[in-house]
């Protein structure tokens, strides 16, 4: 009973939120570099405000982030000390193909990640690598309009071939697109799509066309991964969190079910290999014409993912009643507030049982192994007078969620491969761009505007999580 022996315990980060060094060793500019901190960030993230170049009046936190590019050895040593079995990280496309459409890769970028993966292996840590964690070369955005253009599939295929070949034997677990469903909710941050000049109908079309290209690219990546090394295991990655009906009024139930389908559409295609009938009906009804090539359907059918991974921070609420208007913020998009749940300082609703509900639902739907690749609490950690961070709130959050995951394994029979909490070290927040929204077990001395020594120190949760891993989830 409890967690399986080979359970992959670890933590996660993303390149653009941690590496910095945005212009070193031939790295090209990416969409994710151009997300400023402050009130305009949301409009840029949503693709409503065009920001294709750095502007003087803004601060761009990803430029230097926490400088993991230079400090990766010290940081991975800390992950080794935590006893990590796996470390989820992403590669920056622009380090390997600075512009995105070159034929030959940038050797400096390839070498960099090779060193990082070898460093992980030194500590017995299995890398779990996201190929695209929201990032896309700006050259591809400007020249081709990013994922709305079918040519992106070829450029991405090239990236995948290079990466799978070069890291054969070093990396076995891959996620192709982080939170692939976020192309609908945060089109510029998640997929390099600027849509500010389109009407609502055109926006929908562009987003679904881009989604289709990403889904085809995902299938192609899965195919290549398996061809290059049959040991490779490829997962989809869904930004998850169920919509609960606000009441048992069937109208609320239906609204919630339909909202969930907007997300499941992606994993339905990736896990089952075909477009679900409800999406085809939606396209027909709303006159959304998606360009499919003949070979797409076969490619999707024959190259489904090996496992289902997802991020889980919160559940959401759906209602058909326009009078129920109280909203709360959430991961990328807002939701109706759930009166039964507490919230984080950023308004995200805390719902450990929702994690078990999510695991049950995803397993019932796909019958494939599941992997929780993001889960954590963003909080404004304040060091005490001795400089210590006693983050009991984070320990409670993680512990409650891990217990819920354990129940899903023990009581519901759900096969879970691993758990990588977000984020093992403090990094820049994707949604807000703030540093003070901290998720780490390791504190990084840096503020929202980039001031600070970048010194790393362990929080109370560091020792706690170390014991969780040592006891294989028994000591919570
Ligand atoms: C997920 C992303 O949406 O949530 C991460 O994959 C992100 O990149 C995480 O950091 C937490 O969100 P935020 O906005 O608090 O950083």
Q: Where are the alpha helices (DSSP H) in 5-128?
A: 15-18, 41-45, 68-82, 93-96, 107-122
pLDDT of residue 323: 85
Ligand 1 binding pocket includes 239 (Cβ within 6 Å): yes
Write the DSSP assignment of 404-452 as a string of letters: HHHHHHHTT---EEEEEEE-SB----TTT--SSSB--SEEE---TTS-S
Rounded to 5°, the CA angle 181-32-193 comes to 55
Task: Identify whether 153 is part of a domain.
Answer: yes
State pLDDT tens for residues 296-337. 999 999 999 999 999 999 999 999 988 877 777 777 777 889
To test the pocket of ligand 1, the residue of 374, 427, 434 to mutate (highest count of ligand atoms within 8 Å of its CB) is 374
pLDDT of residue 112: 98
Ligand 1 binding pocket includes 318 (Cβ within 6 Å): no
* Number of the ligand 1 atom closest to the C-alpha atom of 428: 16
Task: Identify whether 400 is part of a domain.
Answer: yes
State pLDDT tens for residues 446-460. 999 999 999 999 999
Distance CA 422, CA 375 (A): 5
Ligand 1 binding pocket includes 437 (Cβ within 6 Å): yes
Task: Identify whether 189 is part of a domain.
Answer: yes
Is 214 an active-site residue? no
* Number of the ligand 1 atom closest to the C-alpha atom of 430: 16
pLDDT of residue 189: 98
> From the DSSP assignment, how many helices (H) and strands (E) are in the chain?
15, 14
Rounded to 5°, the CA angle 290-306-213 comes to 20
For residue 390, the Cα-to-chain-centroid distance in whole angstroms is 27
Closest C-alpha among 219, 103, 121, 105 to residue 166: 105
pLDDT of residue 333: 73
Contact 252, 200 (CB under 8 A): no
Ligand 1 binding pocket includes 178 (Cβ within 6 Å): yes
Q: How far is the CA of 430 from the centre of ligand 1 (A)?
A: 5
Distance CA 266, CA 240 (A): 11
Is 374 an active-site residue? yes
Q: How far is the CA of 429 from the centre of ligand 1 (A)?
A: 6
Task: Identify whether 362 is part of a domain.
Answer: yes
DSSP 147: G
pLDDT of residue 468: 98
Closest C-alpha among 106, 107, 101, 200 to residue 143: 101
* Catalytic annotation, pick one of 119, 179, 204, 214: 179
Distance CA 379, CA 367 (A): 35
pLDDT of residue 427: 98
Task: Identify whether 3 is part of a domain.
Answer: no
pLDDT of residue 430: 97
Distance CA 333, CA 416 (A): 27
State pLDDT tens for residues 412-431. 999 999 999 999 999 999 99
To test the pocket of ligand 1, the residue of 311, 347, 438 to mutate (highest count of ligand atoms within 8 Å of its CB) is 311
pLDDT of residue 335: 81
Q: How many domains does the chain have?
A: 1
Range of the domain at 422: 8-470
Q: How far is the CA of 230 from the centre of ligand 1 (A)?
A: 31
Closest residue by Cα to atom 5, ligand 1, is 430
* Catalytic annotation, pick one of 119, 214, 374, 434: 374
Closest C-alpha among 366, 198, 379, 377 to residue 268: 366
Closest C-alpha among 67, 77, 79, 24 to residue 444: 67
Q: How far is the CA of 251 from the centre of ligand 1 (A)?
A: 31
What's the pTM?
Answer: 0.97
To test the pocket of ligand 1, the residue of 309, 331, 432 to mutate (highest count of ligand atoms within 8 Å of its CB) is 331
Q: How far is the CA of 431 from the centre of ligand 1 (A)?
A: 6
How large is the C-alpha radius of gyration of the chain?
A: 21
pLDDT of residue 332: 73
pLDDT of residue 84: 98
Ligand 1 binding pocket includes 430 (Cβ within 6 Å): yes
Strand 307-311 relative to strand 327-328: parallel, antiparallel, unpaired? unpaired
Q: Which residues of the chain have pLDDT under 50?
A: none
Ligand 1 binding pocket includes 429 (Cβ within 6 Å): yes
* Number of the ligand 1 atom closest to the C-alpha atom of 432: 14
Write out the H or E segment, with its range, that includes residue 457. Answer: strand 456-458
Ligand 1 binding pocket includes 378 (Cβ within 6 Å): yes
Q: How far is the CA of 331 from the centre of ligand 1 (A)?
A: 7
To test the pocket of ligand 1, the residue of 41, 422, 437 to mutate (highest count of ligand atoms within 8 Å of its CB) is 422
CATH of the domain at 401: 3.20.20.80
Closest residue by Cα to atom 2, ligand 1, is 430
Cis peptide before 123 (omega within 30 of 0): no
The b/e string for 314-343 (b: 16+ C-beta within 10 A; e otherwise) is bbbbbbbeeeeeeebbbbbeebbbbeebee
Q: How far is the CA of 292 from the centre of ligand 1 (A)?
A: 31
CA dihedral 349, 350, 352, 355 (to 10 degrees): 30
């Amino acid at each position: 009973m409890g967690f399986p022996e080979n359970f992959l315990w670890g933590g996660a980060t993303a390149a653009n939120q941690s590496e910095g060094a945005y212009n070193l060793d031939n790295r090209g500019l990416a969409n994710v570099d151009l997300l400023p901190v402050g009130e305009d960030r949301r409009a840029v993230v949503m693709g409503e405000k065009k920001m294709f170049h750095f502007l003087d009046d803004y601060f761009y936190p990803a430029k230097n982030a926490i400088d993991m590019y230079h400090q990766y050895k010290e940081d991975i040593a800390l992950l080794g000390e935590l006893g990590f079995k796996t470390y989820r990280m992403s590669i920056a496309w622009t380090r390997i193909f600075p512009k995105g459409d070159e034929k030959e890769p940038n050797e400096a970028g390839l070498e960099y990640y090779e060193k990082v993966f070898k460093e992980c292996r030194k500590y017995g840590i299995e890398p779990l690598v996201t190929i695209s964690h929201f990032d896309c070369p700006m050259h591809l955005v400007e020249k081709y309009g990013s994922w709305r253009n079918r040519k992106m599939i070829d450029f991405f295929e090239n990236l995948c071939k290079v990466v799978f070949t070069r890291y054969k034997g070093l990396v076995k677990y891959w996620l192709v697109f982080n939170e692939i469903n976020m192309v609908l909710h945060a089109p510029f941050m998640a997929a390099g799509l600027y849509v500010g000049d389109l009407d609502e109908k055109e926006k929908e079309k562009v987003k679904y066309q881009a989604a289709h290209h990403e889904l085809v690219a995902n299938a192609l990546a899965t195919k290549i991964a398996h061809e290059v090394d049959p040991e490779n295991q490829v997962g989809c990655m869904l930004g998850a969190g169920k919509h609960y009906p606000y009441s048992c009024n069937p109208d609320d139930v239906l609204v919630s079910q339909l909202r969930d389908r907007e997300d499941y559409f992606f994993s339905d295609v990736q896990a089952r290999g075909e477009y679900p009938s409800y999406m085809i009906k939606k396209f027909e009804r709303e006159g959304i014409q998606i360009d499919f090539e003949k070979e797409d359907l076969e490619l999707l059918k024959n190259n489904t993912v090996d496992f289902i991974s997802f991020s889980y921070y919160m559940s959401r609420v759906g209602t058909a009643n326009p009078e129920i208007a109280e909203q709360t913020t959430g991961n990328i998009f807002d939701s109706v507030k759930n009166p039964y749940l507490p919230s984080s300082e950023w308004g995200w609703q805390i719902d450990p049982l929702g994690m078990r509900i999510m695991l049950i639902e995803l397993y019932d739907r796909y019958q494939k192994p599941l992997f929780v690749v993001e889960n954590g609490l963003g909080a404004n950690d304040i060091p005490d007078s001795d400089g210590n961070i006693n983050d009991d709130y984070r320990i409670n959050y993680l512990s409650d969620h891990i217990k819920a995951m354990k129940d899903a394994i023990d009581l519901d029979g759900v096969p879970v491969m691993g758990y990588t909490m977000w984020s093992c070290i403090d990094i820049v927040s994707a949604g807000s761009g703030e540093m003070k929204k901290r998720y780490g077990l390791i504190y990084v001395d840096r503020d929202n505007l980039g001031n600070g020594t970048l010194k790393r120190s362990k929080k109370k949760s560091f020792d706690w999580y170390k014991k969780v891993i040592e006891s294989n989830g028994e000591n919570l």
